[in-house]
Structure 1
């Protein structure tokens, strides 16, 4: 995932966003593809997946940290599946299949679409996949956090950058947007009611019927999580730059659609049953790659401001 001049050719990626003053008139031809990646941040999610699965310095430490917990969780999940699958399938057959107006289920179709196997079996597999994911997440909770942090650090190191690479925040817009900082109690309420609790209510109650469409429920949930997921993935970036709440809010507001698109793609992968846990690590890799390019842009803006003649 590099240009013809190698990874460091990305140092010149400085195409201005909406409302910004253009800092460079032209982009070198060799940087066109890299520039497009910067302009369309979801590509960094793909970069993260590619690097995690191809770079031994990333996937070996991650697997070493998570393999024992993964095996324990897989064993418990397999036992749970063997003991409860028939019960859950019967539950769905009795209660859900008898309420097609609520779930869109019938004996042969899902919202009018035929499936190659029993509808109740399909629904039970979806439900079971979600439960096994929660079991794995329980066993991996601590180790996977460590694996994500190491993935971020190793990605930054692979770019040849040390702690001094992250410089103080520089405002890139001539006229930055006005953002309103919420009181601490409002942020707390939004974080919990609008965070995993709110998402649980949305996914398990409001959007429950959509979960029986292949990937539709995951996509709708990803749309709700997009901005929060992107913010969380770039938290190490904001901490490295020692940005305050106002600077973070302004930075995200200036790139709100970039963060929403990146967050949607990242949340979509993380929402996949079981395998989504792997993507929580690859997304951290992709976020670090994006942060690297954003920081190069910050360096360029700072240099331009330092060289600007006094008005």
Structure 2
């Protein structure tokens, strides 16, 4: 993982920002709010949802048709197989982690979950989740290129709706007087490997899928694992627009690592939902663009402060640790 060494001095205190930046600063203090804003704008702003739906509706209809046929033909078979795995995991799978997960699921089906009696058998819950993941994959296959275009258009339209053009994105300005020292370690190299398409698919389908056998909890655990990678991916257009180097990206994210983790967790949580999560992959682009807009406004402010000879906070009590 990235390592920070030496003292780091944070940028100007939030209370000292000019009036035109105060609302943006409030939003920046809680990055998950941008995920909510993205969802709201996608479902209420016609200039955003209409182009996205027009691009994806034919693929979505074909995918849902095939998915419904698949579910109707295989639901009973898959439920029977999953029930057999949960009750007798060693008869079908020899992996010990599957066995432990299955035993937990069996106990929950016989008792309660967090003191609440479940209205259905856990095998039914797991089957629905498993089929939901399959239908999502079918939809992704039929949408493929079109949904990627819809995401990019959502980003571009969100930026345009703020009245900003390409000239708005200015060169990177370091906001900390003493930025953290970031070294590429094993975590970063491993992250680069995970970003490849084939390895990414294996990680998502093989490692994260067993987590769904834990009722409710598995969704949150998987989102936690994917948080940083999701946030970094969603801000790739921002880094590209600013022509940031890989090192500048690493420092920028390190200075805001908890912001990126919180935003990424909320975004990954929504994207991990079966079927409807595909719509949230578009809304998250909108939220990420809104966040990038506010971050860039702060970059402009810091750049102006630098030109005026401003020097960052040097008092230890005003340092911001992240």
TM-score by length of 2: 0.82
Number of residue-to-residue matches in the alignment: 289
Correspondence for 1:258: 259
Q: Aligned pair in 2 of structure 1 residues 247, 27: CA closer, same or farther (>3 Å)?
A: closer
Deviation of 1:227 after TM superposition, in Å, equals 0.6
Correspondence for 1:191: 195
Deviation of 1:195 after TM superposition, in Å, equals 3.9
Deviation of 1:34 after TM superposition, in Å, equals 4.2
Correspondence for 1:43: 33
Alignment gaps of 5+ in structure 1: 1-17
Q: Deviations over 1:251-272 (max 9, x none)?
A: 0011000001000000000000
Within 5 A, what are the aligned runs for 1:1-311?
19-22=9-12, 25-26=15-16, 34-99=24-89, 101-103=100-102, 104-106=104-106, 109=109, 112-113=112-113, 114-181=117-184, 188-192=192-196, 195-204=200-209, 208=210, 210-308=211-309
Alignment gaps of 5+ in structure 2: 1-7, 90-98, 312-322
Query: In 1, distance between residues paired with 2:107 and 2:221?
Result: 25
Q: Aligned pair in 2 of structure 1 residues 156, 224: CA closer, same or farther (>3 Å)?
A: same
Deviation of 1:158 after TM superposition, in Å, equals 0.3
Q: Is the 8 A contact 1:85 1:124 kept in 2?
A: yes
Q: Deviations over 1:90-143 (max 9, x none)?
A: 111222233575412338816743321233222211111111011111111111
Query: In 1, distance between residues paired with 2:106 and 2:120?
Result: 13
What secondary structure does 1:161 align onto? Answer: coil
The alignment's C-alpha RMSD in Å is 2.6
Q: Aligned pair in 2 of structure 1 residues 117, 21: CA closer, same or farther (>3 Å)?
A: closer
Correspondence for 1:12: none
Deviation of 1:182 after TM superposition, in Å, equals 6.0
Query: In 1, distance between residues paired with 2:212 and 2:110?
Result: 11
Higher RCO (CA-CA < 8 Å; seq separation 6+): 2
Tell me which moved more, 86-95 or 250-259.
86-95
